[in-house]
Amino acid sequence: MKVLKALLVGWRRPLRKIDMNVLIAADSFKDALPALEVCQAIGAGIRSVRPELKIRLCPLADGGEGTYAVLAKALGLQPVEVEALDPLFRPITATYGCSAGGETAFVEMAKTAGIQLLAPTERNPLFTTSFGTGLQIADAMRQGAKHLILAVGGSATNDAGIGMAAALGWKFLDKNGAVLSPTGGNLIHISAIVPPSDGILRVNTEIICDVTNPLFGPTGAACVYARQKGADDAIIAQLDSGLQHFAQIAAKSGFTADPEYPGAGAAGGMGFGAKCFLQAELKRGIELVLNLLDFEKHLSWADIIVTGEGKIDSQTAQGKLVQGLCQRAMKQDKPVIAFCGRLEANVAEIREIGLKAAYSINDPAEQTSLAVMLKNTGTNLERVARQVFKAPPE
């Protein structure tokens, strides 16, 4: 914490204000707490030591799990339940949102293909699929949706969207003409792509995501994200080869999507697959969410912003939620601090993100198990919020 305290020099003075407005605008902590509960825990910690401060909660998301909950009110979405499949093809009842007139559907990939749906021992992107997400999209299309917003963060998959496409009627054949199961491990075996026999359904589609990675390579979907989805080095190499192979097959089949464009590697390659099979347009998740929530008004009210997410590292400066928020805050010269479960960013990276300071809510010296840390997320958020906002000496 010594380095982080140094970053606070010249900044703690605003904490002495007794009429300070504090905007708490945090993301969910994966596998621990949804965004609203994260904000509530931080707020409780601040109120316990500074009851005079005015506090406003603004839960956020950038395309990952919890995005539906954050945007449902802003978009006036009504829940629609559909029988789908989870990442391991197991039956699941999932919800997507539909606008009052039925023209806009909002599908959160994490509800059917999310990593939080799997126990740690079940996570292996060789065997997971986005088929359930495709079932939701197909239902929305049958219901007459003309506009689809697909939030793709937080996935357990690395299938380049072929699972989603298979649910829409596409088939992926091996060299012998047999239909392949649409999983990440089978990308390398695809020899032909067959469109739906009853025609291709089209809907105006926007993908919201929080990354700018290409489809494959050292900064691609597998090499950067597959390990957190349960892959080891050998699996990562296999998946990366599969993604590269699939891009070649897609090009030979007439698809014009570029595997190098920013976001192609989002959600295990769903960005690329959505370009191919839905002709989707990719949007930066945090920018869309902040616009829909009219975030500028909240910023204008605030004297300081408290944000947070499960991990802050070098990737946070590559279009993640916290950086997107900091960019907005800097335009109004508003300071931002962040709480996180794991802090892996150095001083230069913290500054690059735009933060005044960042705090891990877990003490690595305690060597507590991950399960215990996740369980204690709310308590630890309150504790660190109390420590940071306790009135400094004059």
Mean pLDDT of the residues in the chain = 90
Of 35, 90, 89, the C-alpha closest to 66 is: 35
pTM of this structure? 0.78
Q: Measured between alpha carbons, how far is residue 199 from residues 73, 162, 196 in Å?
A: 35, 17, 5
* Spatial separation of the C-alpha atoms in residues 327 and 44, rounded to whole Å: 26
* 33: its two tokens: 């707490």
CB 134 within 8 A of CB 128: no
* 28: its two tokens: 């969910």
Residue 1 has pLDDT above 80, yes or no: no
* Spatial separation of the C-alpha atoms in residues 203 and 370, rounded to whole Å: 42
Residue 272 has pLDDT above 90, yes or no: yes
Radius of gyration of the chain (CA): 22
List, for residues 129-170, the tens digit of each pLDDT value. 999 999 999 999 999 999 999 999 889 999 999 999 999 999
* Spatial separation of the C-alpha atoms in residues 322 and 299, rounded to whole Å: 14
* Spatial separation of the C-alpha atoms in residues 351 and 340, rounded to whole Å: 16
List, for residues 110-127, the tens digit of each pLDDT value. 999 999 999 999 999 999
What's the confidence (pLDDT) of residue 269? Answer: 97
At 358, which helix (H) or strand (E)? strand 357-360
CB 210 within 8 A of CB 286: yes
What's the confidence (pLDDT) of residue 12? Answer: 54
Q: Which residue has the tokens 């805050």?
A: 329
Of 342, 339, 359, 358, the C-alpha closest to 350 is: 358
Residue 15 has pLDDT above 80, yes or no: no
* 38: its two tokens: 């994260």
List, for residues 32-69, the tens digit of each pLDDT value. 898 999 999 999 999 999 999 999 999 998 877 788 88
Helix and strand tally (H, E) in the chain?
A: 15, 13
pLDDT band at residue 314 under the 50/70/90 scheme = confident
Position 290, amino acid: L
List, for residues 192-226, the tens digit of each pLDDT value. 999 998 877 789 999 988 788 999 999 999 999 99
Position 77, amino acid: L
The contacts of residue 294 (CB under 8 Å, 6+ apart) are none
Pairing mode, if any, of strands 147-151 and 204-209? Answer: parallel
Angle, helices 35-49/377-389, rounded to nearest 10 degrees: 40
For the sheet containing 54-57, what is the strand order? 54-57, 21-24, 304-312, 336-343, 357-360
Phi, psi (5° rounding) for residue 172? -125, 115
List the beta strands (DSSP E) in the chain. Answer: 21-24, 54-57, 78-85, 91-98, 104-108, 147-151, 171-173, 192-194, 204-209, 281-284, 304-312, 336-343, 357-360
Neighbouring CB atoms inside 10 A of 102's CB total: 14
List the beta strands (DSSP E) in 174-329. Answer: 192-194, 204-209, 281-284, 304-312
